């Protein structure tokens, strides 16, 4: 039996049907968000992606990307307005070589309105512009004191520390005050794995190297750095895990976003970034739901190729931040997701011991940012 029902379920029409205690776990209203696996004795495998109806969006599956998702995907790869500053940071001779390439990444438009977070005004706009520009300059400027950055097309890839993580964290901390960058912590503390061989539900603690959250309540994007030996993305455990738990979270978000009078809803999207262990390449994914299936679009970055690819990767990180800022859910939607999280906690599950051991081996310290004390934050259970 399930424990006591979260209070919101007694008053929210779209959730009232979930308030029962199904005797068959496969009839549970959140069963669609369970991560299905073939064997209780095996970890995640690439075959589990198809088992969970998670596919690359292409003609193979006869799926058309709707206009809204296409628009978001274009925005995540759009040009940004820093061409002049980046040009000035290059040596003149190098600019002659790279100008045509960089003009495909940036524009010189001085009107930043289409890329400024809507509610940011005054000095914070300049803070956003300066913080982003400094990141690009650090990548482009061969005189950077860190000693690992070069404008040469054959230059070395940047490190984890300066290519993405620290720059993005500092930007969120300074500009996006309502958001948090969480290191190794996923506030959705429990997902459910369901093994087909023994028809058993087991708890699964989701994890990510870095996540951007709206006040610890709503996921904006996840970042994963490859763990273990170098190999093909599609075969490694943490890559498969990222897509499986991302798909489960998208399904939960769609339940939380679903209007009270709707039977289904498929409006949620979730950006993911996966980088190889040696930072030779990275991939951006955009997960979305169509019917029961989860699809993803992907965009690859060859980080060891040249500075242009590294600039493109950093630029698209800021495009993701723009998207996150514009996609803040309402208070009611956040309350619904909090209730869904509470309902997941109440599902009787066996403990997954290997997940416990992996989680204990990882450092778990939040990179917190300020937020206003009067903002609603659902209680975490």
**Is residue 67 domain-resident?**
yes
For the ranges 141-155, 180-194, 236-250, the lowest mean pLDDT is seen at 141-155
Q: How confident is the model at residue 124 (pLDDT cuts 50, 70, 90)?
A: low
Residue 127 lies in a domain: yes
Phi, psi of 158 (to 5 degrees): -75, 160
Residues in Cβ contact with 42 at an 8 Å cutoff, skipping those fewer than 6 apart: none
pLDDT at 359 over 50: no
What domain range is 308 assigned to? 7-360
Rounded CA-CA distance 369/180 in Å is 6
Instruction: Give the number of domains in the chain.
Output: 1
pTM of the predicted protein model:
0.80
The pLDDT value recorded for residue 151 is: 38
Most confident of 225-239, 242-256, 322-336: 242-256
Write out the H or E segment, with its range, that includes residue 264.
Answer: none
Q: For 249-292, what is each residue's pLDDT tens digit? A: 999 999 999 888 877 788 999 999 998 877 788 999 999 999 88
* Chain centroid, CA 380 distance in Å: 21
pLDDT attached to residue 272? 97
Question: What pLDDT is attached to residue 211?
Answer: 93
**Residue 336 falls within a domain, yes or no?**
yes
CA distances from 85 to 102, 208, 222, 283 (A): 12, 34, 29, 26
H helix intervals, the chain? 47-51, 67-76, 83-89, 92-102, 123-140, 160, 166-175, 237-257, 307-326, 331-345, 353-360
Residue (of 160, 218, 219, 211) closest to 185 by Cα position: 211
Give a yes or no: residue 379 inside a domain. no
Q: How far apart are CA 29 and CA 290, in angstroms?
A: 18
Mean pLDDT for 338-343 is: 91
Residue 368 within a domain: no
Is the pLDDT score of 378 beyond 60? no
Q: Tell me if 66 is assigned to some domain.
A: yes
> Would you say residue 146 has pLDDT above 70?
no
370 falls within a domain? no
Q: Is the pLDDT of residue 48 over 90?
A: yes
98 part of a folded domain: yes
């Amino acid at each position: 039996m399930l424990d006591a029902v979260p209070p919101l379920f007694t008053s929210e029409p779209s959730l009232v049907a979930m308030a029962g205690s199904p005797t068959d776990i496969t009839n549970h209203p959140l069963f669609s968000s369970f991560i299905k696996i073939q064997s209780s004795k095996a970890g995640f495998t690439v075959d589990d992606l198809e088992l969970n109806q998670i596919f690359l969006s292409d003609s193979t599956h006869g799926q058309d990307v709707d206009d809204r998702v296409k628009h978001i995907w274009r925005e995540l790869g759009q040009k940004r307005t820093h061409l002049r500053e980046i040009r000035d940071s290059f040596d003149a001779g190098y600019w002659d070589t790279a100008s045509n390439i960089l003009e495909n990444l940036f524009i010189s438009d001085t009107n930043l309105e289409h890329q400024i977070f809507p509610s940011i005004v005054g000095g914070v706009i300049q803070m956003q512009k300066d913080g982003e520009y400094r990141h690009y300059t650090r990548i482009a400027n061969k005189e950077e004191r860190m000693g690992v950055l070069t404008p040469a097309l054959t230059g070395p890839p940047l490190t984890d520390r300066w290519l993405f993580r620290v720059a993005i964290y500092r930007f969120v901390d300074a500009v996006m005050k309502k958001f948090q960058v969480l290191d190794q912590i996923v506030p959705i503390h429990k997902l459910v794995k369901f093994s087909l061989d023994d028809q058993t539900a087991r708890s699964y603690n989701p994890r990510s190297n870095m996540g951007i959250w709206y006040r610890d309540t709503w996921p904006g994007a996840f970042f994963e750095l490859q763990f273990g030996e170098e190999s093909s993305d599609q075969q490694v455990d943490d890559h498969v895990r990222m897509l499986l738990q991302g798909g489960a979270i998208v399904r939960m978000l769609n339940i939380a976003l679903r209007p009270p009078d709707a039977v289904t809803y498929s409006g949620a999207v979730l950006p993911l970034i996966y980088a190889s262990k040696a930072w030779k390449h990275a991939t951006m994914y955009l997960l979305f739901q169509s019917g029961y299936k989860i699809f993803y679009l992907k965009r690859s970055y060859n980080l060891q190729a040249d500075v242009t690819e590294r600039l493109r990767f950093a630029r698209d990180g800021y495009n993701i931040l723009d998207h996150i800022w514009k996609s803040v859910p309402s208070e009611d939607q956040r309350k619904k997701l909090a209730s869904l999280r509470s309902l997941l906690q109440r599902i009787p599950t066996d403990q997954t011991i290997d997940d416990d051991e992996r989680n204990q081996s990882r450092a778990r310290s939040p990179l917190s940012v300020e937020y206003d004390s009067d903002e609603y934050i659902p209680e975490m259970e």
